[in-house]
Amino acid sequence: MQDSKWSCAVIVAIILLVLFFMYGFQTSNNATDGITEEAKDACMLLCKTVNYSKAEGPCLSNDIAPGWVCDIAHNPRAEMDDWPENQCSAYVSGKAKHFVEVTPDCKFIRAN
The mean pLDDT of 17-28, rounded to a whole number, is 47
The mean pLDDT of 21-26, rounded to a whole number, is 46
47 located within any domain:
yes
Question: What radius of gyration, in Å, describes the C-alpha atoms of the chain?
Answer: 21
The mean pLDDT of 42-56, rounded to a whole number, is 77
40 located within any domain:
yes
Task: With a cut of 80, say whether residue 13 has pLDDT above it.
Answer: no
pLDDT in tens, 59-95: 999 999 999 999 999 989 899 999 999 999 999 999 9
Q: Which domain holds residue 50?
A: 34-111
The amino acid that residue 55 corresponds to is A
- Number of domains the chain contains: 1
44 located within any domain:
yes
The amino acid that residue 86 corresponds to is N
12 located within any domain:
no
What predicted TM-score, i.e. pTM, was given to this entire model? Answer: 0.66
59 located within any domain:
yes
